Structure 1
Amino acid sequence: MEREARDGGRLTPPEMLGDSAAWRDVLRSLARVAESGLPVLVLGETGTGKELVARAMHTLSPRRLAGYVAHNCGATPDSLIESELFGHSRGAFTGAVADRPGLFEAAHQGTLFLDEIGDASPLLQMKLLRVLQEGEARRVGEIKLRRLDVRVVSATHRSLAEGVERGGFRTDLYYRLNAVRLRLPPLRERGDDALLLAAAFLRRAAADCGSPPPALDPELAAHLMRYPWPGNVRELSNACAYAVKVAGARDVVALEHWPEVLLLPGTPAERGLHAETRALEQRRLREALDLSHGNKSQAARSLGLSRQGLLKKLRRHGLGVPEAAAPTLDGPAAAQ
């Protein structure tokens, strides 16, 4: 089920595939956000695809012909931050044997992706705030200021709002980065997307081995649907690669090929109860929607839920929620 993206006909990476209502909301928002040119804060658990979404945003934006540069905010010690961000001139310090542009220069007229911005040190936060406010910076060892035109997309699995409250993250930088928020749903809230993605990952792993794509054993498919996926899409991708390349699955991928650490904890009876509970909840949700002819407020009342509670459950089960785009894409004033 490989599809073409809106970037000159290139195939969409398997990690970006999905048919659930929650993921369709993300994809619908993506083009609008990309065209806006505004700073974007991408929120999501580890492994939900934040960097892939940032790359797609760049590809769909008017800046697509310029550079895309990614940086992990927790990876650079404070002693190297200025050189890393803004570059340095030859002889600026011991070991500076040549002129070197920084990340902002490399991303000039393009996109700079700041991954794990929640891990940024106070010094990094201060330096980022200044360059974003002024739109200019100088290389270490130079006097000349250089004008910089960079769109910043940042991402985190942490709550920056809580960081601001605790005093660990600057309020002024938070609002600089947070013109638009894009939330990525965890895999456990994307319903059948787990099976769609697994098929794509297995097809890719088999192609690497020169084999035809294997089928998914029904028992394993049921396991994928009830597993909580703490590592999200990345965890599923790694597990599929393991099943084919290490465990040697060929025609059919079964539980015996799956990494043991990803088997759902608990006894078989507990696993069965979990699956039955999920199936019952999904059936009750569908029945309530059918009886209310799609009126979600009425369906929520019949189930003894608030409307927001119903929408949350619908998204978790991957059921259609047409009006869910607003919670996925919202402005800086909304609560995280």
Structure 2
Amino acid sequence: MRTYLDFEKPIAELENKLAEMIKLADENKVDVTEASKSLESSIVKLRDEIFNNLTPWQRVQLSRHPDRPYTLDYIELMCDEFIELHGDRQVRDDPAIIGGFAKIGGEPVMIIGQQKGRNTKQRQYRNFGMPNPEGYRKALRLMKLAEKFNRPIVTLIDTPGAFPGLEAEERGQGEAIARNLKEMFMLKVPVICVVIGEGASGGALGIAIGDRVFMLENTWYSVISPENCSTILWRSWDYKEQAAEAMKITSGDMLELKLIDGIIREPVGGAHVNHEEMAELLKSKILESLKTLSKMSPEKRISTRIDKFSNMGVVLEK
């Protein structure tokens, strides 16, 4: 059964009416073709109206939708082959980050991403998509392995942040993320990063230094979540909508600020409405980018990558 967000309730009401109309028509052998067509047209019009005028907070809600495709869903839908690799060779395997060798449209790649869970048991196992230091060290190990075998790297970002627990800090959470940032700048193979859900803080940035950084249409990318920002500024979560507006965290804001390289459009209604279509759109963008990046020399890619991130946030005064 589909889950509707608060702002989608008008759509849900019309869809329920349509379902009831069709059910009653079947039971009473009545032709309601014209009426159902009119109602379907109203649903399409209302959906377009709502999703063409989403607020930043509504996009945040969509990025967290429980039916939204996660990394494993994209791997299953996009990849012809996938061999998962485990462990950081130091502490343990972190289930919050998964990765391995794969083929996308026949192109061999190393795919790495953060994974949330669908139910309570899975969420606990995946630590709600919040990696520990060993998760970032595993990711770096796989990136270095990809570099060794000359395989492009694709990272899928979807995390509310790196795990903030005391044990994670004791094992060097900050150092692990910082090392990933440093090493990803110098990778000789093409690196494509895509925010597929939440892109929060250093937890996202730890696997987000790439030649191409994209965001799905209804995602967000920021140093802090709107709720936490509201808590800091107003001592309450009640102002999260205002915080989301002021923080400029949506894909459109990120593109305007030149912090990402492009936006991957989602099906109307969000990525959760049609997993297959969303995976196909993402796959197409990845293959298109790989084709462009493969023509560049490693030295040129590294130089361009460093320049791109070095220019972020720079203000020139006359």
- Give TM-score scaled by structure 2 length: 0.29
- Structure having greater relative contact order (Cα 8 Å, sep ≥ 6): 1
- Give TM-score scaled by structure 1 length: 0.28
Max radius of gyration: which structure?
1
